[in-house]
Structure 1
């Protein structure tokens, strides 16, 4: 065979081999795609099957934003010092420092929720709460290092007392949870904590305030109190807001004085700079005061009532005769603690353009009815004072009439947010005597995600 013939033969063999490699790659890609799709479908089926099944352990929720090293350090401390069953849920709130990739490379009981943009601490917490499966839940800042026996001892305090929420002591925080420490390095801190963390109920104490850097509670407490209010930007005051709502339900707070964790302290807020921090703090404080008005006075009066408020849920503080909706946009008429789905039997023309958004957690706690007795605020004819009417006594406070009770509305903000009439009728002192003081009406939390 000539040289040209040999060359042509080699080229033909090379082309055949290249074609065989190409066909092999195509088949491999097809097999991979088929396997991937089968695995994905199996995962979806398993996710749906186990979605509502609780986890017999603790869900540890860690919101984080652009603090990759801190959150990895926090996770490492959990893995080193947590002997009871747990799952870690890290919500990456729009980080740009590679946090999500670093988390996805880790192995272990870590689930990751990812926000495409920074939505703030409250939104990150809410995503974590939505994802949580544990019978108990911990909200943990990313700048906390947990220590020996931290979770087991806090669980003892939670399960052996009447507390609804338990928090530890630490080296750096505002309020009663800060204790004096003398260590100057992490090894010294761990040695200090190992000695300090000895279960001792004599060190437990009830309190009126817990800071949200580390909170432990049962799942049913979350379901009764609800999600964090996403009206607070970035951070600050959202934990105070949640704690206030919890206390209004008659639930108690406890400091587990026998359990110490290390807190680096406000890293995300400090990154805003002094002026940035002050601006965010002032804005959130203004929102808190607008939302709650003089509610501390009302709350104190409710505590002083015989028996106080006990065994309440967030839905018990909702008004009557209002329109509400879920994340899917489905609307309901809420009347006397029962929700009525919008249907042909209801007058759709009575539905306002904007209705109050409630979470799935709240809607599930409200029983569903078939036909309400009344729609809207039509007070013409009949008695002057009608069910659902908003009134005032000349003292600047608003009230709603609800089944023989006068229910104080926490603030003008609450009245506006619920869509209640903003120009109340004046009620006389004689008329006032006909009513008992009822459960107050408080504003619901603002929610962004349709999935909540």
Structure 2
């Protein structure tokens, strides 16, 4: 058995032959060597397996399985990992050269913390900048961040590095969730471990192509995750923060219903939000949601009259 690596990179992929090769290259190009790169090919039919063998040989561990979804693929990779730290790298993302070094150094310097995140540059398929996912906008200070994360649990998996003990403690990704599995994982880690942030963009993510991130999200999963996390938070989160988190997800559902032209559902979600929290920001967001719905209804009526 070889020495335990510092970092195990976990890369799930499905029918992204060209993209996953780029992702792996970014892991191999780290200024601090990634000791173990585990690729789980989740039933690809585009020649991914042969392409990886031809390109990388034994520099990576490549496992092929029947298609079971991204959570199952990540979980299999994490179960195989031997590294002190585990880092996630989806096949349509890539790491900047300093990511491994910066995050390992941070975790080594903060032994009481379980996970460290970084900012992420989001680009289109041509590499043109879209925006920057800034973690400090939600996690305002390092430490026990559950009350903050509960308000906005968005997690870019490519941003995360965590101790193998975190995985042993909280488990992997919830395979029963069709979507929002990353949010659920983030919340479960935040409920049991301290989390920190490096305020630099150490990763890049492609958006607006046919990957997982562009699939239509199911609001049921998002709601299920938040409601479950609120229930399990206990006295670690104030009742006010719990109510605000629930109301925020109900308003998110309302906005989604508006753009689907399901106005009756939108009004129902908005009313539920207003009954859940009296916070002034929630009330203001509720009014804005109502105005958005009314404008959308008016545009629909105008469209029908012209047709």
Q: Shorter-chain TM-score category?
A: 0.5 to 0.7
2:196 is equivalent to residue 245 of structure 1:
no
2:105 is equivalent to residue 156 of structure 1:
yes
Q: Is the 8 A contact 2:6 2:85 kept in 1?
A: yes
Q: Is the 8 A contact 2:92 2:211 kept in 1?
A: no
Q: Counterparts of 1:312-323 in structure 2 under 5 Å?
A: none
- Could you state the TM-score of these two structures normalised by the residue count of structure 2? 0.62
String of CA shifts for 1:61-115, please: whole Å, max 9, x gaps: 0001100000001111222234334211011111110001111222342001211
String of CA shifts for 1:265-316, please: whole Å, max 9, x gaps: 36454697xxxx33xx21xx424534663642651623469xxxxxxxxxxx
Distance change >3 Å, CA 55–CA 109, structure 1 → 2? farther
2:151 is equivalent to residue 217 of structure 1:
no
Give secondary structure in 2 for the equivalent of 1:152: helix
Distance change >3 Å, CA 266–CA 237, structure 1 → 2? farther
After TM superposition, the runs of 4+ consecutive aligned structure 1 residues lying more than 6 A away are 183-186
- Correspondence for 1:226 among 171, 186, 190: 171
Give secondary structure in 1 for the equivalent of 2:223: helix
Give secondary structure in 1 for the equivalent of 2:122: coil
Distance change >3 Å, CA 295–CA 137, structure 1 → 2? closer
| Separation in structure 1 between the aligned mates of residue 175 and residue 204 of structure 2, nearest angstrom | 27
Question: Partner residue of 2:17?
Answer: 68
| Separation in structure 1 between the aligned mates of residue 37 and residue 91 of structure 2, nearest angstrom | 12
Question: Partner residue of 2:72?
Answer: 123
Q: Is the 8 A contact 1:92 1:99 kept in 2?
A: yes
Q: Is the 8 A contact 2:40 2:73 kept in 1?
A: yes
Question: Partner residue of 1:113?
Answer: 63
- Correspondence for 2:120 among 170, 176, 183: 170
- Could you state the TM-score of these two structures normalised by the residue count of structure 1? 0.43
Give secondary structure in 2 for the equivalent of 1:55: coil
- Correspondence for 1:96 among 45, 70, 78: 45
Q: Is the 8 A contact 2:23 2:93 kept in 1?
A: yes
Distance change >3 Å, CA 121–CA 166, structure 1 → 2? same
| Separation in structure 2 between the aligned mates of residue 239 and residue 98 of structure 1, nearest angstrom | 27
Q: Which has the higher helix share?
A: 2
Aligned length: 219
- RMSD (CA atoms): 3.2
Question: Partner residue of 1:293?
Answer: 227
Structure number with bigger Rg: 1
